[in-house]
Structure 1
Amino acid sequence: MSLLAHRRTLDLLEGGYASVHHGRSHDFDDLRAYVAGDDVKDIDWKATARHGEPLVKRYIASRRQHLVLVVDTGRNMAATAAGGETKKDIAVMAAGALGYIAATHGDTVSLVMGDESGAVALPSGGTEAHLEMLLRRIDARVSLDSARSDLVGLLDWVARGVRRRSLLLVVTDDVALDDRLTRLLRRLRAQHEIVWLTVGDADLMTRGSRATDVYDVHEMAGLPAYLRENRELRREFDRADESLHDRTVRGLRSLGISSERVGSRAAVVPALFALIEKHRRARR
């Protein structure tokens, strides 16, 4: 698997696999007439013999892409996911897997994480040791004592603070796309490419055995067991959950953002594979 940059880079230091600038790499582009100062090693002697004057080879310059892990590290990510694991563990695995793919292809990886207390940005690097450091920072940041999640504030920081064109992996929990978030994502899409991974909420309604009390980490309030066993509330919960998911997917698709939703660590790799394929085939 590899990460595809849809647009050609316009800057010599900007990331991407295809550059409008010429340079030294293994990807042949074309031939041009020799001019004073060209490296003799670049002369194509066979073409020169046929043409009658010196011709040199030109190559497409190799440019590295930049992946930014944009991770919601608010208290919401300390909650339980659909598969019974904490959302934080799933987020760490997803960020690590995609970061590893990027690093093995020679790309650089950085991290922007945050909650209501503010955002923290960590510099880019291209080694496994650097990626592990980023993942440890995510793991240490998320707890039940963390501030509430603030995805709008986090993405607003990225829009203002990340100047270099990048591929953004946004990892967050289930959110509704309101007007403010939609405007912000439209602004980010003009500057970056975005893929979106949602860590799904746990099923709050009891389907089998007797229910136990659960707690909302956002409000620190309890949900009594007898409510979780109510069949009518269960139907309403299912309808609301499906509606939220559908609206989010449609909204992201309308913005040109590929998305997937996962509920367990076992689902992370298949979801990332599907996400990369969606992004690769997306029309720009």
Structure 2
Amino acid sequence: MPSLLRRIKSKMFIFAHRRTLSLLDGEYGSVFKGRSLDFDELRAYVPGDEVRDIDWKATARHGSPLVKRYVAVRRHSVLLMMDTGRNLAARSLSGEPKKDVAVHAAGVLGYLASRHGDDVGLLHGDAAGSKYIPPRNGEEHLERLLREVDANAPCTGASNIAEQLDYVLRYLKGRLLIVAVADEFLPDTRTVSLMRRLSARHEVLWLTIRDADLAPEDAEKAQDSFDVGTGQGIPMPLAMDATVRAAYAAAMLDRDESRRNIFRTVGIAEEQTTGSEDVLTAVFALLEKHRSGAMSARSSGKDGANAG
């Protein structure tokens, strides 16, 4: 059976040149390299050290700048949290099946993590339940994870990412770097509460697979539209009607704004992908957004501490 990971890596090199992949590697490293909170030792400051690492009290006692050293974190546990419910049977904005986009996104994210020596695990499921595969390192393990998603998505059960959020909060211990790959949806009250609790315990990033348009611009390609989640359909002539299309577009803009506000409120960086060809771009933007948000949060915390 052809390797899913090999196919995804081939697409990565087709969609991006070497410089882009290097930038993506660098962005991943800058977001996730981290360090433990365990203090190691003090040593003399040398040019190039981070100013934030200076121990000002020790410096005052010693008479020259001293910096804190920490035990380096060599490996993280990255959890791919994926919606594999029946919503993945729908088409993405690019026209590809959402399942294929989800597998590709998981492969890109997992490959990045593996390249940096991180362990990668998988949590997937639908409204009826979740399946968890613990984090491990290596491309053979990543291939297993991709085959798990490919074989189980879309399942017949309804999509409900809240069940996977709840599973993490109930059963998974230790701090994780969680990357959710899910269908486009507007979180309800319960889901928002779970997202807020999750982001307080873990680092969380969210990649959304955009929905297809109500109907294509080309009338010859148009066909009846239906919602795979509910099974409700929209006849092609109605979906092609200009008034209906305008109302649909306005409603989607309102929903997108509501989604952005929710993710901002719960402190989770979210980015959207239209299909396989822009997954790399979306992942890069997601990492940048997460890093910028983390830096802003640290800055706010320092300002608050100084004010106090």
**Does the alignment reach a TM-score above 0.5?**
yes
Match of 2:231 among 195, 206, 220: 220
Change (3 A) 1:266 1:70: same
Question: Is the 8 Å Cα contact of residues 205 and 269 (structure 2) preserved in structure 1?
Answer: yes
User: How do 1:95-134 and structure 2 match up within 5 A?
Assistant: 95-134=106-145
Question: Is the 8 Å Cα contact of residues 122 and 135 (structure 2) preserved in structure 1?
Answer: yes
Higher radius of gyration, 1 or 2:
1
What is the CA-CA distance between 1:162 and the residue it aligns to? 1.6
Alignment match, 1:278: 289
| Alignment partners' CA distance in 2, 1:31 and 1:263 | 49
Q: Is 2:182 the counterpart of 1:172? A: yes
| Alignment partners' CA distance in 1, 2:232 and 2:37 | 55
The CA deviation string for residues 155-204 of structure 1, in whole angstroms up to 9 with x for no partner, is 11111122110111011111112221111111111110110111011001
Gaps of 5+ in 2: 1-24, 45-68, 298-308
| Alignment partners' CA distance in 2, 1:62 and 1:200 | 35
Match of 2:77 among 66, 88, 92: 66
Question: Is the 8 Å Cα contact of residues 74 and 142 (structure 1) preserved in structure 2?
Answer: yes
Question: Is the 8 Å Cα contact of residues 3 and 276 (structure 1) preserved in structure 2?
Answer: no
| Alignment partners' CA distance in 2, 1:246 and 1:3 | 30
What is the CA-CA distance between 1:4 and the residue it aligns to? 4.9
Alignment match, 2:276: 265
| SS of equivalent residue, structure 1 residue 133 | helix
Alignment match, 1:155: 165
Change (3 A) 1:219 1:59: closer
Gaps of 5+ in 1: 7-15, 24-28, 33-57
Alignment match, 1:242: 253
Change (3 A) 1:112 1:252: same
Alignment match, 1:47: none
The CA deviation string for residues 65-121 of structure 1, in whole angstroms up to 9 with x for no partner, is 111000000000121111000111111111111111111111111000010221000
How many pairs does the alignment contain? 245
Higher strand content, 1 or 2: 1
What is the CA-CA distance between 1:147 and the residue it aligns to? 0.8
The CA deviation string for residues 30-58 of structure 1, in whole angstroms up to 9 with x for no partner, is 359xxxxxxxxxxxxxxxxxxxxxxxxx7
| Amino acid in the other structure paired with 1:229 | M
| Alignment partners' CA distance in 2, 1:3 and 1:89 | 27
Change (3 A) 1:148 1:166: same
Taking every aligned residue pair, what percent have the same amino acid on both sides? 38
| SS of equivalent residue, structure 2 residue 170 | helix
- Tell me the C-alpha RMSD between the 2 structures: 2.1
| Amino acid in the other structure paired with 2:128 | S
Q: Is 2:199 the counterpart of 1:189? A: yes
| SS of equivalent residue, structure 1 residue 260 | strand
What is the CA-CA distance between 1:62 and the residue it aligns to? 3.4
Question: Is the 8 Å Cα contact of residues 72 and 149 (structure 1) preserved in structure 2?
Answer: yes
What is the CA-CA distance between 1:152 and the residue it aligns to? 1.2
Q: Is 2:154 the counterpart of 1:137? A: no
Match of 1:30 among 42, 49, 55: 42
Q: Which stretch of structure 1 is more off in the superposition, 208-217 or 241-250? A: 208-217
What is the CA-CA distance between 1:233 and the residue it aligns to? 0.7
| SS of equivalent residue, structure 1 residue 202 | coil
| SS of equivalent residue, structure 1 residue 236 | helix
What is the CA-CA distance between 1:21 and the residue it aligns to? 2.4
The CA deviation string for residues 231-252 of structure 1, in whole angstroms up to 9 with x for no partner, is 1110111011111112111210
- Which contiguous aligned blocks of 4+ residues in structure 1 show a shift greater than 6 angstroms? none
| Amino acid in the other structure paired with 1:197 | L
Higher helix content, 1 or 2: 2
The CA deviation string for residues 103-159 of structure 1, in whole angstroms up to 9 with x for no partner, is 11111110000102210000111101111110110011113x521101111211111
| Alignment partners' CA distance in 2, 1:166 and 1:5 | 13
